[in-house]
Amino acid sequence: MLLLLIYVVVSIAALAYGGPDQLIENSDDVLSVLGTEVFGSPLDKILIIAVLTSAAASTQTTILPTARTSLSMARWGAMPAALGRVHPRFRTPHVSTLLMGTLSIIWYVGLTLVSENILYDSIAALGLMIAFYYGLTGFACTIYFRHRLTSSVKDFVLIGVLPSLGGAILAGVFVKSCIDLAKPENSESGDSWLGLGPPLVIGVGLLLVGVALMLAWGRGRGRAFFSRRAETA
C-alpha cells in the first residue's frame, strides 16, 4: 500500500507540474526531465542515481524469487535435491541462486543478441506465466485445505473465498492476455510465429516445457512428492 501511495503521489505531481504533453514527449526518460526542471543541477543527479540503483536492485527480482522457490520445491522433493542446499556461511540457497542467475543471464544475453524486440516480447510473455502460477496457487490453497472451510467464518473467507477469487481474477487475466497476445500486431516486433504473436508462443511454449519437466520428474525421482495426498484434518 505504501508503494502504491508513492506511485500515485508521484504520478499526480508529475501531471500537475508538467502536464500530459510533457510526459508524452519525454516518455522514454520522464524522471530525468522532471528532475532537471524541479531540482536543477547538480541535485538532479541524485534522482538519476536513485533510478540507477533501483534498476540494479530490480535485476535481483529475477534471481531471488526463483532461487527461493526452487529451494522450497527441492526441500519437498519437487525438484532435484541439489537446489535445496543452503550455504553454511551465508545461509542462502547458493546452488539455486547461481543456477537461476546463470539462466537469467543466458536468456537475457541470448535474446538481446537475436533481437531486442524479441526480448520485449518475452517480457510480455512473462505476465502469462505469472498469472498462471499465481492463479493456480489460489485454487490449490482452497482445494488443499478444503476440509477446513467449514471450521470457521475466518477459514472460509481466508482459505476459500479470497484465494479462489484471486485465482478466478488471474484466470480471467490469463485468458484475456492470451486473446490479446495472439494478435501479431500487439507484439513489440509485430512478427507472426505460427500465425500467432511471439509473446503468446513464448509464454505458452515455456509453460508446456514446465509441464513436460514436471511429468518427467513426477514419474522418476519426484514420485514421492507428486503422490502425496492433501490433509484430511
Over residues 108-130, the mean pLDDT reads 83
- Start-end of H helices in the chain: 2-25, 30-39, 44-76, 94-114, 116-144, 153-155, 162-181, 198-218, 223-226
Domains of the chain by residue range: 9-55, 64-105, 115-233
Q: Does the predicted model carry a pTM greater than 0.85? A: no
* Residue pair 133/127 in contact by the 8 Å Cβ criterion: no
Neighbours of 1 (CB within 10 A): 5
3-state SS assignment for residue 100: helix
C-alpha cell belonging to residue 182: 495472439
Q: Residues 54-112: pLDDT tens digits? A: 878 877 777 888 899 999 999 999 999 999 999 999 999 999 999 988 988 888 888 88
pLDDT band at 233 (very low <50, low <70, confident <90, very high): very low
